[in-house]
Structure 1
């Protein structure tokens, strides 16, 4: 296992903390059957540098600690994020990378169906739609521009 620099660890901690704060700041939009979790854009940092993966997984778990569904959301939400992170790490295309978080919203749909007795298909669709809007429609153009800015890219890479 490769040693990480203090800077890399600090950057991961900052990213995780920012994700949690952004999620809680708009909490009514971050949880429930219709979600627009704007902090999810940050999952695309994993495309830039795979080492952001653990920070994103931890951030999701921490943000979900105060979800209305409690520990169930910590487990299911973190599982969905873990799956998305693992697929983003292997993606060769930024556009494809943006689609993984949306795909794994199926896990959240199952969670809300089982725990809250919400209709599976409709709930999964609304959660996927929110994730698609945030990560693909908003996050993709932001990260596409970021990837063209060498100075900014160098700043966020964990070298």
Structure 2
């Protein structure tokens, strides 16, 4: 890999991290808690197109979770949930499955429902049933990942300049 490609990848990852963090922090009133709609989760489809998004999303999530009301555990487990989802989304993008773009948002939904659901249950709301918390997190993820992520996939696929930039 040549130097200019490495720099371009670092720039792309940095831009994704900055956008993710800015969106999450700007909409912090609805980005944290048992009922959460983290707008930035719409970006979790980006590893479908580029491996650099895995790093960008992970760093962006880490930065965002500094202000989490759950505390330092969200820095660890929230970031882990994003990393797992980003890696899975990257491999979905590399697959030959015909309807893979409809699966691209799914890893973020599943990873966050399980990991963030468990985190919120044991740290934030121990009296609430786990399945209810996981369902609430999953619903917020479905709304953000599919309502923002799928149109974003369509925009990227139809725009050769953006698609080339992400390669």
Q: TM-score, normalised by structure 2?
A: 0.87
SS state at 2:105 partner: helix
Task: Flag as ranges the 4+ runs of structure 1 deviating above 4 A.
Answer: 1-4
Q: State the alpha-carbon separation in 2 of the partners of residues 75 and 127 from structure 1.
A: 17
2:156 aligned with 1:146: yes
Q: State the alpha-carbon separation in 1 of the partners of residues 129 and 32 from structure 2.
A: 16
Identify the match of residue 137 of structure 1 among 104, 125, 147: 147
Please give the per-residue CA displacement for 1:38-94, whole angstroms capped at 9, x wherever unaligned: 111112111111122111111111110110011111111111111101211110312
2:158 aligned with 1:156: no
TM alignment of 1:56-71, pairs within 5 A:
56-71=57-72
Gaps of 5+ in 2: none
C-alpha displacement at 1:2, in angstroms? 7.3
TM alignment of 1:102-141, pairs within 5 A:
102-105=109-112, 106-116=114-124, 117=126, 118-141=128-151
TM alignment of 1:11-50, pairs within 5 A:
11-50=12-51
SS state at 2:37 partner: coil
Q: State the alpha-carbon separation in 2 of the partners of residues 87 and 155 from structure 1.
A: 21
Residue 42 of structure 2 contacts residue 145 of structure 2 at CA under 8 Å; is this kept in 1? Answer: yes
Residue 12 of structure 2 contacts residue 52 of structure 2 at CA under 8 Å; is this kept in 1? Answer: no
SS state at 1:49 partner: coil
Please give the per-residue CA displacement for 1:126-148, whole angstroms capped at 9, x wherever unaligned: 11001011111321122123212
The structure-2 alpha-carbon separation of the partners of 1:155 and 1:71, relative to structure 1 and needing over 3 Å to count, comes to same
Please give the per-residue CA displacement for 1:108-155, whole angstroms capped at 9, x wherever unaligned: 000011112132111110110010111113211221232122122113
| RMSD (Å) for aligned C-alpha atoms | 1.6
Q: TM-score, normalised by structure 1?
A: 0.91
